[in-house]
Structure 1
């Protein structure tokens, strides 16, 4: 496609009307005022309010922020779980032309303070349960003018060293109930999210109102969302715009379920709520969906989830999990692909009608494990090491590059980031993969995670997926460890189901049909837990560091 913009005949439409996110929530509240938002309170109880009541609080929150002195262009941080207050700020902050900083509470204190300072954030809204996180970084922050504490308790009962402080509910009670929303330049930042910093300092991606708006439409279309859907936001709302689902759900006036804070041992009530509220769309990592499936399997009466689409990302969903949901409940696990830099969704896996009749059942499941078809609006290309564009034939592998209206073309205030982008505006994902003749994307590895052994490459992802294919394996991570003779050799970390004991030979037997003998891991270590990053991905940098000397004497 040529890069030159060619002007044609002028249109007669409202092309100057700005795509502002406030128009989405305002329309939903006006037209579907009775629709419900269900949320989990800190004590574990569930409550609900209508779109109309939520919108009334959003307008007050926007006025309250203005009253504190927030100006267009300011950055306002949110340190919270998937709460109703966090949801309100998703609209109130961008609605006054400020940018919402999504504060990843799982970052190390030094990284989180870097993010707040680098973004020049001036106000932070923090949930009471996370005051210790805020207090740990507060002395290092350079631009903070105030803190807003979100709690059901009165301010007099909250003990904190933060200053100056305001109470969210008090601010709303005192704020004006109506607001004349400004028409914001659609290229202004709606929010900011920082990468997790596994390869250096976190890098800032600033999403525009325009990009959020267009992403919401594309995602809703690809998921087949309608007003009849109920969306549960499981992925943290501080992680990549919660995959853009809050905006898509509001666009389609979905019933919305906000699970608040939940821990690993609270998957049962989360699953029970998904069933009770009739959830048809949910997002999460396999690490969440796996125990949900286990809980469902324990139920005497299995739920009918045949209308449910479970959007799964972070790591490739195990085949056993995908089949388990389908066979027990009728739910479809939808493998999706994206990143902080892509807003984040750029591919989702749905079977093409033309393939349903031609594929065997096993072939169909193999297809569903791929990352999927590109969303309408984004453009993919595969580049080899020499920057040559690879054909979409399913076998020609290279770096996955993406371009589109919701894809980053730079990082905020970072001068040396040009190597992450091509000259014609594609973002370099750092992922290795291929696209087949039907248009399906398959990620085979991260460039940095490909195991280079004796001049040959071994895919860590393919080996992980093969190991997880064992019915008694919960998780598996494979990394390359330095080796004097072979450059690198594979090492596998394996988590088994409770009460199950496996051996290295069991794993070898499993891999024997799909990997050559020289490709098998030199070590298979059975562990209770695999280190993960703040967004739920395997922390392979950490694993490699921990085991760097394992093959030193080989």
Structure 2
């Protein structure tokens, strides 16, 4: 019996959906998740099948592991909802890694769990640059810190929580909206099998969130039902009212990269094509 693995979330989702695996007992299987965000919906699905998913964080440039979720004795005594929150975070930096949050003006932000900025790193083994790409190398390092390009917060216990890629964050009404936060909330709907949220141009707000969802076999879900499902998250202060997507499309598949990450560049391109052709009510991506 397999007891430990590591993979991207897409692999776990494929396994859970595989007909050959239906009814299989995965109890005791610990899986470290990296490569892209672990959503609460996928975590809950896996837990119901006996898997124990734990998020970690790293990049090719960090060779690769930087942090991993750490469930200490105090958290083991906490309720399931509190405990699962820490399973989803990128976790605590490993030994010899310095992690900090930097604002756009270069100042460092407090580790208070709410101050959001770019995650920057220092460690003895980090990549020093890119071969024959001096400009990209200069962008990677500034003032002695490696710049990850990820928007994050760090809490009082040193847990890193990745909020988004800088290039994927939705800039709406002068504020930053995390596409990962929205994906995590939408993924908790029982009818949703997969989800991606991207920002699309909006004349009034700059950008607005557009959600693509893949439904489970035989499931139905309207845009109004999904929007109503997100209302409690507004009431609880997880998101603002304007964060609820007004544009939602049900698709048969969401594009992924060769390593199983959401291909948001292609998703944005496809949505732009739909809007240009006046066919936003698509049911699949070409």
TM interval, shorter chain, is 0.7 to 0.9
Alpha-carbon displacement from aligned partner over 1:109-149 (angstroms, at most 9, x marks no partner): xxxxxxxxxxxxxxxxxxxxxxxxxxxxxxxxxxxxxxxxx
Match for residue 427 of structure 1?
A: 146
1:409 lines up with 2:128 in the alignment: yes
TM-score by length of 2: 0.87
Match for residue 83 of structure 2?
A: 364
**2:22 maps to which of 289, 298, 301:** 298
Quick one: distance in 2 between partners of 1:326 and 1:504?
27
Match for residue 235 of structure 1?
A: none
**Residue pairs, 1:378-457, within 5 angstroms:** 378-417=97-136, 418-424=138-144, 426-457=145-176
CA drift of 1:327 comes to 4.2
CA 454–326 in structure 1, closer or farther in 2 if over 3 Å, else same: closer
**Residue pairs, 1:6-405, within 5 angstroms:** 278-295=1-18, 298-299=22-23, 302-303=25-26, 305-306=27-28, 308-329=29-50, 331-357=51-77, 359-405=78-124
CA drift of 1:478 comes to 0.7
Greater fraction helix: 1
Quick one: distance in 2 between partners of 1:326 and 1:465?
16
Report the structure number with the largest CA radius of gyration: 1
Q: Is contact 2:195-2:211 (8 Å) kept? A: yes
Quick one: distance in 2 between partners of 1:507 and 1:334?
27
Match for residue 256 of structure 2?
A: 532
Q: How many residues align?
A: 270
Quick one: distance in 2 between partners of 1:322 and 1:519?
23
Quick one: distance in 2 between partners of 1:528 and 1:334?
28
CA drift of 1:551 comes to 6.4
Quick one: distance in 2 between partners of 1:422 and 1:516?
34
Quick one: distance in 2 between partners of 1:473 and 1:427?
36
Quick one: distance in 2 between partners of 1:395 and 1:481?
26
Quick one: distance in 1 between partners of 2:46 and 2:30?
10
| Stretches of structure 2 lacking an aligned partner (at least 5 in a row) | 234-238, 279-286
CA drift of 1:339 comes to 1.2
Greater fraction strand: 2
Q: Is contact 2:43-2:53 (8 Å) kept? A: yes
CA drift of 1:491 comes to 0.7
SS in 2 for 1:416: helix
Alpha-carbon RMSD: 2.1
**Residue pairs, 1:532-551, within 5 angstroms:** 532-548=256-272
SS in 1 for 2:142: coil
Alpha-carbon displacement from aligned partner over 1:441-480 (angstroms, at most 9, x marks no partner): 1011111111111212211110011111111111111111
Quick one: distance in 2 between partners of 1:541 and 1:444?
18
Q: Is contact 1:285-1:314 (8 Å) kept? A: yes
CA 435–490 in structure 1, closer or farther in 2 if over 3 Å, else same: same
Quick one: distance in 1 between partners of 2:275 and 2:45?
38
CA 320–492 in structure 1, closer or farther in 2 if over 3 Å, else same: closer
CA drift of 1:500 comes to 1.2
Regions of 4+ moved over 4 Å: 294-297, 549-553
Quick one: distance in 1 between partners of 2:124 and 2:253?
39
Q: Is contact 1:433-1:441 (8 Å) kept? A: yes
Quick one: distance in 2 between partners of 1:513 and 1:455?
24
